[in-house]
Amino acid sequence: MKRYLTGTLLFLLALGLTTPVFARASLYDHERSQHRRIQQGINSGELTRKEVRILRKEQQDIRQLKRRFLRDGRVSKRERRVLQKQYVRAGQHIYRFKHNNRTRYTNRHGPYSPWSSGGREVAGFIFGHRF
């Protein structure tokens, strides 16, 4: 009984120590996920060229701000909060642009969709997709 209780307590302690690591996303994770969301919006045709230009400019401005904050070698708590607010706002802009009714019809279904001419079709298969 004592052995099971000790094992359970050690497991809970290890779980409690690792949880804060997963709870806080780094600034790099924000940047990477937003880049991925923008790229997905381009591939699906949800974002127009003008919207992509605006979103990429916003991402560039955040990177420049981050570089400015890193000039002294570290990012303070206040600077981190400012950057996180910028990333949240940029994420809201990405969501808003992807969910408006404007689409880019030239690449609407993505490069490997059966409805686009971007994929290579061989005997009923388009590379990367099966019917």
C-alpha span between 75 and 66 (Å, rounded) = 8
In tens, the pLDDT along 89-111 reads: 999 999 999 999 888 765 455 55
Please state the rounded mean pLDDT for residues 14-26. Answer: 61
Position of tokens 């401005």?
Answer: 61
In tens, the pLDDT along 41-66 reads: 999 889 999 999 999 999 999 999 99
- pLDDT, residue 123, reads 47
Please state the rounded mean pLDDT for residues 68-87. Answer: 94
- pLDDT, residue 119, reads 46
Give the angle 85-49-41 at the CA atoms, nearest 5°.
60
C-alpha span between 107 and 115 (Å, rounded) = 10
- How far lies 98's CA from each of 22, 37, 111, in Å? 28, 9, 18
- pLDDT, residue 114, reads 52
